[in-house]
Amino acid sequence: MKELLYLEIPTPDTATVQTWLQDNWLPQTGTKVNTSTGLRLQASEQSSTNSPELSIILWSAMRTTYLKVFRWGEQPFPQEGNVLQQLQQDLRQQFPQTYPELPDIDLTQQSIFEALAPYYPKTVHFFQKMPKGEYDLNRVYWWEKRWRESVRNPKTPKQVVFRVSDSSPQPPQYDLIYIGGALGAVHGALMANLGYRVLLVERLSFGRMNREWNISRDEFQNLIDLGLFTPQEFESIIAREYKDGFNKFFDGNLPPHLQADVLHTPTVLNIAINADKFVALCGEKLRQAGGEIRDETEFTRAEVHDSHVSVNLKHLPTGEESQVSGRLLMDAMGTASPIAWQLNGGRTFDSVCPTVGAVVEKGFPEGVWDSQYGDVLNSHGDISRGRQLIWELFPAEEEELTVYLFHYHQIHPDNPGSLLEMYEDFFHILPEYRRCEMEDLVWKKATFGYIPGYFSLGDGDRKVAFDRLLAIGDAASLQSPLVFTGFGSLVRNLGRLSTLLNLALQHDRLSRQDLNQIRAYQSNIAVTWLFSKGMMVPTGKTLPPQRINAMLNTFFGLLASEPPEVADTFIKDRFDWFTFNRLAIKAASMNPALIAWIWEQAGAKDFLRWMGSYFIFAWDSLIGWFFNGWLPTVLRQWQPWLEQNYPGLWLRLLSFSYRLTTGVGSSPKDAIAQQQQALLRQKVVKEKQAV
């Protein structure tokens, strides 16, 4: 028996595919004999009992239909190649790849449950079991609708930021106005502790998170080193600490040389944080430092004056409108930020991970999962309806499990990416991933969002600033292409961002040119976007179902064969130029088809763009190696004079020093950067003592 063909048919209705195959499909040659799982195709004239046959088998998994064709016999089936080609073409024509639209609903006449039940019955059923399910499902629908609109109209985004001339300059009420209460609360709390007047504006109820967060101890240490948290406070927000994390991708349809061992990452995402408690603590610190929080309040527009920025707000429960003013507006609204879409108009994000999931209080049978371990990245099947679905599973307090389902997705107007479709998949296939009875599960809350990706070509490629306006977190595409979202990246870069922002505020360097220096661009991360590109199925294309799992197993199998610190360094975006090249060459030697696959999925244009990113990484690494031996000493000697007389130049030099260290994967050994962060921490501690 020899396998000849493996196809993914993008429909969950396997019975309809089987009926069509048995009753309607007319092969060029051969006689059909129906079977319980498909059919056998016999040669029209069988010369002997050893005459070859084709066996066509169908099965269903992950709400998708799969088909394989096997040959029985040593000799080829008559016109074998033509028959297989015809079968593929007829299946594609009969069951094409479709990209469902978001239903247009009227919530003035019915509830969100009633409106969506005909389209997403499983989703509605299980959201009704959640404590705030109706509120959260409304949020899911709102977020997807806004995302789709912004993807389909990228060249004409709604203008929400306006530049006006000062008619009568006035002192601003605040130093910093943050729009977005998740990552904004972290950054805002630190800046408030530095003595700045901070206002935090959140569209939802403050502290109500739609995503849980995981991180490692050494990364969270950044918040402790900066004086924002004490070690005791950190321990109080830990929901669970794991012994190990697993990374494994389905390889049941791969040849032995492409199968891989489990990659163990015991120090990656091994701390599950109670996100609600963490954000609430940040809010408490912000208020204690004199800051203010306005929740259930929506940002509507901003007017940038010469001396300040005016921000229009709307309190959603009452409809009351107000206006506040500040020295600087901080955009922390995430992927749906209208400010980010306006600033980057024609090119916003290049990819996205639609992510859905839930926190389950209890209900999984004993033995399904050991709470001392996390499932960092896992796939339990091949490409499903044009997506390679990937799971994450993280135990939390007591019996709680946080489960995510996501996929890497190319942003396309015809196929923006759907949260509701993903949720319908999630509730159908969770028992396939981890054995459970869905009706026995006790649901705590939903977790969801769009995690963006941006294929940077250089440190000035992404617009993160305007006069008196700066974006952070997901709104600035501050994220990692592998497992980290904006939270992990922000925490790792918080010292860098806050040090530069503190310097800009002290010297009133708040023009777009100065604020564009305050970014966490890393050229070593920029070269990895080709890796995430290889995990996407391009819209309108069909790939072999096992393709993406083969690529993932090649790369993660390679990391599994390396010393543990190599995987830790790579996944945490700390790898240098030599490590990247060594691993890339080794991966290509293990799987020579890898480069051809990436070329096919990325295309020539993106592959050439990536070459530009690679050369920038190489150049930054070279000049970092050249300057790092003597430049920090020279700059440290000249710092007092430079900062006093040329603060704009000093801001650029400090930003440059970060680029030559953390930007290329080196440890932050730059003496200037270390000195600035030490001074920043001292100021935080001093302000805390004063309060």
CA-to-CA distance for 292 and 276, rounded, in angstroms? 18
pTM (2 decimals)? 0.88
Which DSSP state fits 438?
A: G
CA-to-CA distance for 299 and 178, rounded, in angstroms? 10
CA-to-CA distance for 477 and 455, rounded, in angstroms? 9
**Residue with tokens 């064969």, as numbered in its chain:** 561
Sign of CA dihedral 141, 142, 145, 151: negative
Residues across the chain: 691
Q: Locate 634 and state its tokens.
A: 């020279």
Residue 676: strand pairing partners:
none
* pLDDT number for residue 529: 78
CA-to-CA distance for 344 and 422, rounded, in angstroms? 27
Give 10-residue mean pLDDT values along the chain (691 residues).
95 97 94 95 71 94 97 90 96 94 93 97 98 95 91 79 82 95 92 95 85 87 90 94 95 94 93 92 95 96 94 96 96 85 73 93 92 94 96 92 94 93 98 96 94 73 87 75 67 88 94 90 80 88 95 94 91 86 92 90 84 88 79 76 90 84 61 52 56 50
Question: For 658, how many CA atoms within 13 A lie in the half-sphere containing its CB?
Answer: 26
Tell me the domains of the chain and their CATH numbers. Answer: 2-94 (3.30.310), 162-237+274-348+458-526 (3.50.50.60)
DSSP notation for 194-253: TT--EEEE-SSSTT--SS-EEE-HHHHHHHHHTTSS-HHHHHHTEEEE-SEEEEE---TT
* pLDDT number for residue 674: 54
